[in-house]
A = this chain, B = another copy of it.
Amino acid sequence: MSDPSGAAAPAGVPDDHWRPTYEDIHIMIRNMADIVREEFQPDLLVAIGGGGFFPARVLRTFLKKRDEKQPGKMRNVPIQAIGLSLYEEVDGVSEEQIGTEVVRTQWLDTARRGTDSQGRGDAGGLLGKNVLIVDEVDDSRTTLHYAYHELLKDVKKALEAYTPEERAQLPPTRFAVFVVHNKLGPKRAELPILARPADDRIVDGVSTGVYYYAAETTPPVWIDFPWEQTDILEHNRLAALAQAQPRPEAPP
């Protein structure tokens, strides 16, 4: 029977859209946070805005650290934000370039960061920290690649002010990536992802690898994030409809 109101479910649910609800994502982040906390012990989150804002804020709820001076007290892990966009909307950009160029709209507030008694910088607070880079999705890996390599560059530059002996004494700087969804499929850029934490090697004060956490791994579907929805109740309705059915599979 046709629905004269036009309010029926789209014919194709499940279609090639993945529709996590806020609650789905919150719970996925909670589950993965246990592993992140145990394995990586982040000192600092770097949220890639705007997509990383929500996951970073929820992660913080689950990554509280015991205060060193007051063991009964739990402290928030600080969040720094950076702004990155894929440069996709300019006339004359070729198909090849689309999705590969990253534009910085905000970076770490290095002007406000510490220097030691000899005037040496701390790379926007990254030096000697376990730094967790947070975004919503790892699609082409372009943005994550850019964020990791640019932050690493800042750290290596700060480390130049130290002698090799001093570098060996410093607490090491480590990087990890956290995304809500990793989309399976070809990537346009690579990260030196550690197969196991035990493979982590510190050279000249900084890890040569990246810890990698995806709360969920998906086929290369469209992901409709709840914070992008103009009608969140309709989004949740479609999510519930799709949940009652098998999810779409990755193409062969």
Tell me, rounded to whole Å, the shortest Cβ–Cβ distance linking A37 to chain B.
13
A96-124 vs B, Cβ < 8 Å mask (1 yes, 0 no) = 00000000111111111000000000000
Chain B residue at smallest Cβ distance from A112: B107
Chain B residue at smallest Cβ distance from A77: B50
Residue in A49, A51, A58, A236 whose Cβ sees the most chain B Cβ within 10 Å: A49
Q: Are A54 and B107 in contact (CB under 8 A)?
A: no
Contacts A23-B233, A230-B30 given; indicate if A50 touches B56 (C-beta within 8 A). yes
A14-32 vs B, Cβ < 8 Å mask (1 yes, 0 no) = 0000000111001100100
Contacts A50-B79, A106-B109 given; indicate if A26 touches B226 (C-beta within 8 A). yes
Q: Are A47 and B54 in contact (CB under 8 A)?
A: no
Within 8 Å by CB of A53, from B54, B76, B89, lies B54
Q: Are A83 and B83 in contact (CB under 8 A)?
A: no
Within 8 Å by CB of A110, from B26, B58, B111, lies B111
Tell me, rounded to whole Å, the shortest Cβ–Cβ distance linking A88 to chain B.
12
Contacts of A58 in B (CB 8 A): 227
Q: Is A62 an interface residue (CB 8 A)?
A: yes
* Stoichiometry, copies per complex: 2
A binding-site residues for B, Cβ under 8 Å: 21-23, 26-27, 30, 47, 49-51, 53-54, 56-58, 60-62, 73, 76, 78-81, 83, 89, 104-112, 226-230, 232-233, 236
Contacts of A57 in B (CB 8 A): 49-51, 53-54, 227
**With A and B bound together, what is the CA distance between A248 and B22 in angstroms?**
26
Contacts of A23 in B (CB 8 A): 22, 232-233, 236
Contacts of A78 in B (CB 8 A): 83, 105
27 A-B residue pairs with Cβ-Cβ distance under 8 Å, sorted by A, are A21-B22, A22-B232, A23-B232, A23-B233, A30-B230, A30-B232, A47-B53, A47-B81, A49-B79, A50-B57, A50-B79, A51-B57, A53-B54, A53-B56, A53-B57, A53-B79, A61-B227, A61-B230, A78-B83, A80-B83, A106-B109, A106-B112, A107-B109, A107-B111, A109-B109, A110-B111, A111-B111
**With A and B bound together, what is the CA distance between A73 and B91 in angstroms?**
13
